Structure 1
Amino acid sequence: RGPPSPADILTPSDTTGLNFVAWQHRSVGFPRDKIPRVYRPEADSVRAYRSIRLNRPPEREPLFEAHPAPGETVAKPLGRGLSVQLPLALYSQDGRTRRPEGAPSPSALRDSLGRVEAPVFETNPSLRLANVTIAWNVFQHFYPYFEVVDVDWDAVLRRTLRRALVDDESTDAFRQTLRRMVAQLRDGHGQVKGPSTLAGLPVKFDRVEGSVVVVDTAAYVDRALCVEIGDVVTSIDGRSPKQELRDAKQYVSGSPQWQEVRALRQFGRGEPGSNVSITVRQRKKEKACQLRRASGSEIDRRYRKLRTENRPPPIDTLRGGVHYVDLTRAMWPEIRDRIGDLVSAERIVFDLRGHPGLSNRKYKVFQHLAADSLLQMRIATPQFIYPDQAPRAGFRTDRGILPPRSPQITGDVAFLADARAISESEGMLAVVKHHDLGIIVGQATAGANGGINPFELSGGYTIYWTGQRVRKHDGSQHHLVGIRPDVKAERTIEGVRAGRDEVLEKALEVLRESRSAAAR
């Protein structure tokens, strides 16, 4: 005869004076010391992600109505003939969970764990296996997008544990192992940050007409750079650029378009101060060059001014009287001071090829574009009471409403977008699309929205991921799809060499045609 189940032992017939205790999760809440420092004020004020034990302390306000039933258990196989039977709801008395007579106190285990000193910015096999186990379980139980991501998550665990065992003692090797695991989630917010010694080149790359092309250089720092804007990369350290990007994308989480953006940012990264052999095609002739990766203070100095395209100033008036506002660079106070000019403008281009500036996240300029209130995207925070999300306990759905502001902008409007527009930029463009605030020109956005829910692991690693599910205004899938443009526009190699912003040019053409059609 086997031992009685935990429910048989721990569900008393008389519950007088006892407190019912069970876990509720809104996404998942991490201890404050496991949240990256920069996110702690937001976590304290918003509290979108929380994990609580009901009635611990007594009479604690629940997060939502659902909870496991008294005596409810879950049984799970552990492998090799072992299984676990876990109670999901217990009773406590005097602040302590009731346990069978003679059961050991957990205080000894807590004391032992308290004496463990996790290495800082170091790694060893035990630490690596523990970190993989923790991170994998966070996603297993709380990641909201498994239904739209084709992945065998159990197989990912097995592969990642094997890689972690054979990683060398460098922090870079294990960081790559974690990145490869997170990449399988296809989450555009999914990143692993930690100790890294890698540095990039004093060159900016983009994919143009199917090729990797130099779109900017730090020639303002190093006039001896032998590559030029518009050069087509044909090899890097003896490898084709396609192979270099393909390998980089194994470690990038998100949609194909977002993987491309991130892989291009990492193109050619390696040991600081080391040299890279790169072959480029300058029009019809090939040229072999040596580039040196940045080191130390050069990293900031060389990268700060590199741009993907030659944009106008953040707020500008272009030829023909078209007003231009780059919402990724212009701050709201600057825009507010020019609101009179925008109100009187016949044509305006708003640039959202990237992440909006901090002061633009409140959609303030958008409220001047519509006479009626604007609805934002639906943000659904999943609620859990069972392991393995089986099933979820529902969602808490939030949706912002933006009232109109005066004065109203009534001219023709175009928005520039591409895969660099992620998260809040996509929320803004979704409002544009749903409320028909203007024409979107460019390419599809990244397809990743919802609040980030980061957590820290021992050894100096931080993992970022999306804790909420976001859908478009019509309820259709946004994750991996993004906001698609009304008018597609792409760059050409000749345009890059000439310093043209062809996506902006296309938007100006669309606005010009729209004005001409209205005049007829």
Structure 2
Amino acid sequence: MRWHYPFFDELSIDWPSKLRPALIAAAGARSGAELHDTLLFLLAELRDNHAQVKHLSRSSAGIVPLSWRRISDEIIVVGGTASALARVPVGSRIVEFDGIPAAEAYLSMDRRVSAATQGYRDSVTPFSMSLGQIGALKTFLVQPPTSGENETIALPYLDREIFDPVVREPRPATGAILADGIVYVDLEMLDQAGWAAVLPKVLEAKAVVFDVRGYITNTAFGIMGHFTDTRLWSPTWQTPIIVATGTSGYQNSRWAVMPAQPRIDAKAFFLVDGRSGSADETLAQIVRDNRLGVFVGEPTAGTNGNIASFDVPCGFSVRFTGMRAIGADGASIHGKGIVPEHVVKPTLSGIREGRDEVLEAAVAIAAGG
């Protein structure tokens, strides 16, 4: 890892000083769970959104059908499946997770995640808390937004492959008309057939709002070709060249998005936040470098580039970012992300009123010309 992780110098991380005490702690671990935690604490020092340690003893194949976010000092429900929200409405305050005070449970997970930016930390900590064994139950003590009475709710962990994309804040359907001449497109769940279906509306629109608050599909990159008459280059990918004595520079590569027909003349607006990382930031870097649209929301996650991984004894697998993604300005976005032209953050009152304040802001900006 010392030679394959390219951000030690950029982030001023003294890796040997982090590694030595972790190795001592690992040698004294009395269980697989304790060893797992030791490795998690170590990788948190990388400040890398891709950094993870996995072990079969701790399943992450399930996800509870509820999502939450820390607003000030409270943990607030912000989304979920329709059936879960019927029991725990948006805006509810979570008082306890599995009998543990919410703030304590949140902090415990927060210490175990690796995050390049605060925005990503604010999204990945709740997400990591929501993962577990399919079929097991997670218990919540919640205070509904319209009542002072606390209520205990148990929800099952569902198959993450099926439910991961829908455990989020309520959103319009792709193709929805948000206002006169303004069309909504959710890039998190969009496939080629979905894009073909909505394209006629986009061609007639004066503005299109693309939602990038979640992991996008590959369809998103081809869509950008409709907004240009020239080739769009990806960031420059810099992969460390490893020799016997360490790292010897980088191997550079990049790829292009070609212009596509029909040409779209609508103005483009992109909703982003701390969930917008990795492939999302490839898209964001292309948009920023080629001035294809306007960003609205919160800064992006701040980590892009392919993942490197290796296995260690006792069944653990380790992964981290193995390359740099350099934009047209010659800089990496690692640890910084892309800051929107219009910074908008959800508020507790807005959440409890059922509003998507980021989306509302984008519509207002688009409507204003």
TM-score by length of 1: 0.64
- Give the aligned partner of residue 35 of structure 1: none
Corresponding residue SS for 2:39: helix
Cα shift at 1:331: 0.7
CA shift for structure 1 position 445: 0.7
Distance 2:264 2:198 in 1: 12
Q: Is 1:385 aligned to residue 243 of structure 2? A: yes
Q: Unaligned 5+ residue runs, structure 1?
A: 1-138, 515-520
Question: Which residue of the other structure, out of 97, 108, 113, is the alignment partner of 1:252?
Answer: 113
Aligned to 1:19: none
Asked if 1:308 corresponds to 2:168, the answer is yes
Quick check: 1:486 aligned with 2:341? yes
Deviations 1:198-247 (A, max 9, x none): 66654310234563211235562696x4x432012345435352x43332
The answer to whether residue 220 in structure 2 is matched with residue 357 in structure 1 is: no
Kindly provide the CA deviation profile for residues 63-116 of structure 1, in whole angstroms up to 9, marking residues without a partner as x.
Answer: xxxxxxxxxxxxxxxxxxxxxxxxxxxxxxxxxxxxxxxxxxxxxxxxxxxxxx
Q: Does 1:422 align with 2:277?
A: yes
- Cα–Cα, structure 1 residues 217 and 334, in superposed 2: closer, same or farther, change >3 Å? closer
Tell me, in whole angstroms, the C-alpha distance in 2 between the residues paired with 1:318 and 1:187: 36
**1:11-63 CA distance string (max 9 Å, x none):** xxxxxxxxxxxxxxxxxxxxxxxxxxxxxxxxxxxxxxxxxxxxxxxxxxxxx
Residue of structure 2 equivalent to 1:17: none
Q: Distance in 1 between matches of 2:151 and 2:84?
A: 17
Q: Deviations over 1:333-392 (max 9, x none)?
A: 3213443332222111111111111443xx1110110122222211111112244x3xx3
2-structure distance, mates of 1:275, 1:254:
25
- 1:142 maps to which residue? 4
Query: Is 1:369–2:224 an aligned residue pair?
Result: no
Q: In the aligned structure 2, how far is the partner of 1:187 from the partner of 1:222? A: 32
For 1:421 and 1:350, the matched residues in 2 are separated by 12
Q: With a CA cutoff of 8 Å and minimum separation of 6, indicate the structure with the bigger relative contact order.
A: 2
- Tell me, what secondary structure is at the counterpart of 1:287? coil
Equivalent residue of 2:333, what SS?
A: coil
Q: In structure 2, do the counterparts of structure 1 residues 308 and 154 end up closer, same or farther at CA, with 3 Å as the change threshold?
A: same
CA offset at residue 178 of structure 1?
Answer: 1.6
CA distance in 2, matches of 1:336, 1:279: 42
RMSD: 2.7
Residue of structure 1 in register with 2:30 after alignment: 168
Which of 391, 398, 403 in structure 1 is aligned with 2:258?
A: 403
User: In the alignment, residue 217 of structure 2 is paired with which amino acid?
Assistant: G
Task: Measure, in 2, the Cα distance between the counterparts of 1:359 and 1:215.
Answer: 27
Q: Counterpart amino acid of 2:179?
A: R
User: Per-residue deviation at 1:420?
Assistant: 0.6
Are positions 1:510 and 2:365 aligned together? yes
How far apart are the structure 1 equivalents of 2:308 and 2:130? 30
- 1:282 counterpart residue number: 145
CA contact (8 A) 2:63 2:164 kept: no
Q: Which structure has more strand as a fraction of its residues?
A: 2
User: In structure 2, what is the Cα distance between the partners aligned to 1:330 and 1:301?
Assistant: 16
More moved, 438-447 vs 205-214? 205-214
Taking the aligned partners of 2:6 and 2:161, their CA distance within structure 1 comes to 39
Alignment of 1:70-89 (within 5 A): none
Report the number of matched residues.
364
1:156 aligns with 2:14: no
Aligned ranges 1:2-401 → 2 under 5 Å: 139-169=1-31, 171-197=32-58, 201-208=64-71, 211-217=74-80, 220=83, 225=87, 227-236=88-97, 237-241=99-103, 243-255=104-116, 256-267=118-129, 273=136, 276=139, 278-280=141-143, 282=145, 286-292=148-154, 294=156, 298=158, 303=163, 306-360=166-220, 363-387=221-245, 389=246, 392-401=247-256
Q: 1:304 Cα shift?
A: 5.0
C-alpha change, 1:175 and 1:234, in structure 2 (3 Å) is same
1-side partners of 2:80 and 2:270: how far apart? 27
Q: 2: CA distance between counterparts of 1:377 and 1:344?
A: 31
The offset of 1:393, in angstroms, is 1.6
After TM superposition, give the deviation of residue 146 of structure 1 in Å: 0.3
Displacement after TM superposition at 1:483 (Å):
1.1
- Separation of aligned partners in 1, 2:138 and 2:213: 32
Distance change in 2, residues 1:509/1:186 (3 Å): same
For the Cα contact (< 8 Å) 1:204–1:306, is it kept in 2? no
Q: Secondary structure at the match of 2:214?
A: coil
C-alpha contact 1:427 1:449 (8 A) present in aligned 2:
yes
Amino acid at match of 1:231: S
Q: Following TM superposition, by how much is the alpha carbon of 1:462 offset from its aligned partner in structure 2, in angstroms?
A: 1.8
Q: Distance in 1 between matches of 2:249 and 2:322?
A: 14
Distance in 2 between residues matched to 1:408 and 1:282, nearest whole Å: 46
In structure 2, give the amino acid aligned to 1:280.
Q
